[in-house]
């Protein structure tokens, strides 16, 4: 449904625009029942005034998975919007986002758009149990930064909505060098020239200030391009100064403009969450529902698929697989959908016509001699998706025809025992 968009979910089963990839998987009534009864928590259980108690088990299940992923050196924190225009007390409005109305999520990601942690905004942000209270925006950064390993020398980036001098000091005390744009009113004691004064100096003009708070050195740089921008850091400075190409309207040609190093670093490594939003928006699940936790659930499904695809791309690069042979985001999503639709198919249904392979032909002969356990169809056995050998505690007869061996190995998807040793590799023969 995220690839084949229709205005209403019932239209996938209608005679006018029926989609067999959806309608053949399950009846419409069963789909509506599943969507109606999908639930993640007990409404009668005490929730301690938790506004997200309906999806709290889902959040608690996802966070350890994201936090266990290997972290890159460059990490960034930014806002993410879950599109929603219905009535909800959790709904927020951010005018500069592509989706202005929706639920706000704060995401910790790396420069390759991989999600490592997140926190849903529920109207109030309490400080971390062992951290200082430096305001709502700073508390969010400290909360997400708890999963960052300080001994690995990670660098953390964020924008001016989070930045403050107190936040830089708190992160530095935790061993995390920080970097981000800052608003002028949050730089106590560091007064820069106005944009009008710097405009007279020309594009590329810069000023650098230094502040020492609690024995922690913080450098702030203001650079004027089309307008002034202030960037602060506990590890970077304006030097060395490089040059960037800019279009001059008066001269009608590109000119070279000086750019401090701290600005170049921010442009290079900030924006992982925005790229993640773009990847999710390509094939977002559009299923309408009045229940707010449904919207969160579908968004987390999209987030997990994008995260899995990014991990798949990283593994392909480590194995030196050419980009032409790697799956793109669409084909990767379709392969997941096809694997889930084929899960459990053909285990108990009797297929019409002649058997399509030697395994099924031998299995039919075996069934005539007495009762036999059902096996998946040829399409499921040979789909090469999710067939993993697992070790059972007890031995059983190998289900490959003409094999009389007993084994402890079992296929996790087909749910049948198959030999897997030096002499016999029935596991491979069964899935070919």
Tens digits of pLDDT across the chain (432 residues): 889 889 888 999 998 999 988 888 889 999 999 999 999 988 888 877 888 889 999 999 999 999 998 888 889 998 888 988 888 888 888 888 888 899 999 999 988 889 999 999 887 777 777 778 888 888 899 888 888 876 678 888 888 888 888 888 888 888 888 888 888 888 877 888 888 888 888 888 888 888 888 788 888 888 888 888 888 888 888 888 888 888 888 888 888 888 888 888 888 878 778 888 889 989 999 888 888 889 999 999 999 999 999 999 999 999 999 988 999 999 999 999 988 888 766 544 444 554 445 676 666 666 555 556 677 877 788 888 889 999 998 889 888 888 888 999 999 898 889 999 888 889 988 888
Nearest Cα to Cα of residue 268 among 400, 110, 396: 110
DSSP string for residues in 57-78: HHHHHHHHHHHTSPPPSEEEEE
Paired residues of 105 in beta bridges: 80, 120
Q: Tell me how far apart the alpha carbons of residues 25 and 67 are, in angstroms, rounded to a whole number.
A: 34
Residues 6+ apart with CB under 8 A from 171: 141, 142, 145, 156, 177, 178, 234
Range of the domain at 365: 358-430
CA angle 264–268–273, rounded 5-degree value = 140
Q: Is residue 405, in this structure, part of any structural domain at all? A: yes
Handedness of CA 107, 58, 32, 30 (dihedral sign): positive
The per-residue DSSP string of 290-303 comes to: S-HHHHHHHHHHHH
DSSP structure class, residue 43: T
pTM of the predicted protein model = 0.74
Residue 423 within a domain: yes
pLDDT at 355: 47
pLDDT at 378: 79
User: Into how many domains does the chain fold?
Assistant: 1
Q: Residue with structure tokens 């699940």?
A: 285
In a domain, 134, yes or no: no
Task: Give the pair of three-digit tokens for residue 90.
Answer: 């959790």
**Residue 280 parent element (H or E):** helix 272-282
Classify residue 404: in a domain, yes or no: yes
Joined together, the tokens standing for residue 303 give 């987030």
CA distance 226 to 249: 12
Write the CB contacts of 202 (distance below 8 Å, at least 6 apart in sequence): none
Quote the pLDDT of residue 348. Answer: 46
Asked if the structure places residue 145 within a domain, the reply is no
Question: In terms of Cα–Cα distance, which of 427, 418, 430 is closest to 392?
Answer: 418
Say what the pLDDT of residue 390 is.
93
Please tell me the distance from the alpha carbon of residue 316 to that of residue 325, in angstroms, as a whole number. 9
**Residue 7 belongs to some domain of the structure:** no
The pLDDT of residue 151: 62
**Bridge-based pairing state of the strands 115-120 and 101-110:** antiparallel
Bond prior to 188 in cis (omega within 30° of 0): no
Does residue 369 lie in a domain region?
yes
What's residue 364's pLDDT?
Answer: 65
- pLDDT for 11 equals 92
Closest by alpha carbon to 74, among 230, 180, 170, 187? Answer: 180
Tokens of 122: 């529920």
- What burial class does residue 170 get, using C-beta atoms within 10 Å of its C-beta: 0-12 exposed, 13-18 middle, 19+ buried? buried
Q: Is residue 414 a part of any domain in this protein? A: yes
> Any residues with CB less than 8 A from the CB of 403 and at least 6 apart, and which?
419, 424, 426
Alpha-carbon dihedral 352, 353, 356, 360, rounded to 10 degrees: 60
Tell me what pLDDT residue 347 has: 47
- CA–CA dist 265, 112 (Å, integer): 15
């Amino acid at each position: 449904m995220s690839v084949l968009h229709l205005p209403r979910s019932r239209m996938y089963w209608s005679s006018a625009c029926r989609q067999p990839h959806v309608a053949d998987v399950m009846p419409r009534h069963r789909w509506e029942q599943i969507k109606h009864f999908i639930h993640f928590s007990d409404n009668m259980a005490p929730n301690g005034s938790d506004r997200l108690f309906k999806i709290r088990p889902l959040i608690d299940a996802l966070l350890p998975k994201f936090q266990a992923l290997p972290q890159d050196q460059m990490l960034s924190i930014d806002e993410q919007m879950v599109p929603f225009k219905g009535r909800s007390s959790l709904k927020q409005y951010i005018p500069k986002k592509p989706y202005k109305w929706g639920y706000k999520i704060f995401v910790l990601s790396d420069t390759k758009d991989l999600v490592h942690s997140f926190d849903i905004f529920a109207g109030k942000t309490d400080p971390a149990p062992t951290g200082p209270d430096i305001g709502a925006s700073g508390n969010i950064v400290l909360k997400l930064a708890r999963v960052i390993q300080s001994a690995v020398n990670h660098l953390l980036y964020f924008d001016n909505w989070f930045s403050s001098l107190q936040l830089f000091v708190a992160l530095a005390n935790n061993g995390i060098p920080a970097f981000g744009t800052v608003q002028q009113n949050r730089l106590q004691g560091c007064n820069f020239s106005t944009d009008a004064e710097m405009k007279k100096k020309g594009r590329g003009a810069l000023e650098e200030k230094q502040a020492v708070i609690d024995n922690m050195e913080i450098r702030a740089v203001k650079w004027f391009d089309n307008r002034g921008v202030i960037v602060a850091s506990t590890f970077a400075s304006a030097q060395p100064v490089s040059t960037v190409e800019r279009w001059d309207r008066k001269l009608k040609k590109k000119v070279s403009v000086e750019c401090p190093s701290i600005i170049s670093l921010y442009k290079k490594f900030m924006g992982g969450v925005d790229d993640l939003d773009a990847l999710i928006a390509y094939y977002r699940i559009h299923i309408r529902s009045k229940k707010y936790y449904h919207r969160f659930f579908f968004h987390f499904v999209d987030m997990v698929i994008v995260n899995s695809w990014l991990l798949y791309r990283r593994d392909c690069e480590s194995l030196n697989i050419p980009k032409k042979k790697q799956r793109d985001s669409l084909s990767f999503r379709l392969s997941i959908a096809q694997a889930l639709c084929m899960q459990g198919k053909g285990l108990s249904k009797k297929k019409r016509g002649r058997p399509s392979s030697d395994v099924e032909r031998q299995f039919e002969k075996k069934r005539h001699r007495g009762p036999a356990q059902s096996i998946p169809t040829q399409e499921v056995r040979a789909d090469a998706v999710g067939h993993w050998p697992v070790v059972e505690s007890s031995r059983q007869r190998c289900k490959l025809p003409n094999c009389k061996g007993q084994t402890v190995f079992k296929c996790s998807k087909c749910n049948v025992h198959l030999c897997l040793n030096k002499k016999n590799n029935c596991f491979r023969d069964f899935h070919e």
